[in-house]
Amino acid sequence: MKDSIRRRLQQRFWERFAPLYDPFMAVVARSYPRLVSRMVDRIESDADILEVAAGTGIVSLKLAPHVARVMGTDLSPKMIARANHKLKQQRRNGVAFAVADAYRLGCDDASFDATVCVNGLHLMHDPARPLSEMARVLKPGGVLLCATYLHAQSLRARFFSRVIKLGGVKVANEFTIGSMGQLIAGSGFALESQEVLSDIMPLGYIVAVKPDRQ
């Protein structure tokens, strides 16, 4: 699929879904407090963080008090508008949101200490490309904190995957924790840890490091 078509179709869907995103995530993302706690434990307090596919800023805003700076990006202008509205209400320092395509982030090479991507990989048609972009913008030795729903992890997961698809969400990749790890390792990262967090849909959480080749 051409980038322009892929970007237009994805943006159109998330623009329509933006008003429903926060209520939907309040139901399906019960594991997020545990996930954020694990991320905070792994990130240095002076870190500069980039979140890719940040949606309305749920994770970025929770990470912000624990790090030096957070940049949250998303393809959808309406998602970013909602994230900025939250930011204005919460008055978080060191946080910014911007519209950016995960396939071409527009950030400088080696400019972040950590990259975060939560529930993005299973929606991306060619997830190796965004992972390559996240590796590019990471400093050598920087950390990738990646979580995504595991639609193929169990029979229960497959059932909820069917329900989600009937609701109009277009799932591009049905991961197990093993296949998710293989994808990340194949994108040039060294896997550090893998974990499945229980939720309505199991959530795979992987910590990986960009090798220091210098």
pLDDT in tens, 144-189: 999 999 999 988 888 888 877 776 677 889 999 999 999 999 999 9
Which CATH superfamily does the domain covering 3-209 fall into? Vaccinia Virus protein VP39 (3.40.50.150)
pTM above 0.85, yes or no: yes
Closest among 140, 115, 117 to 127, alpha carbons compared:
117
3-class secondary structure, 103: coil
Tell me what pLDDT residue 4 has. Answer: 67
Inter-residue contact 131 to 183 (CB < 8 Å): yes
> Residue 136 class from Cβ within 10 Å (0-12 exposed, 13-18 middle, 19+ buried)?
middle
Per the model's pLDDT, the better-predicted residue between 198 and 140 turns out to be 140
Inter-residue contact 195 to 205 (CB < 8 Å): yes
Which residues fall within 8 angstroms of residue 116, CB to CB, at 6 or more apart?
A: 39, 49, 50, 51, 52, 59, 60, 63, 144, 145, 146
Distance between CA atoms of residues 210 and 43, nearest Å: 14
pLDDT tens readout for residues 79-105: 999 999 999 999 888 999 999 999 999
Residue whose tokens read 């008003």: 19
Ordered by start, the domain boundaries in the chain are: 3-209
Report which DSSP code applies to 52: E
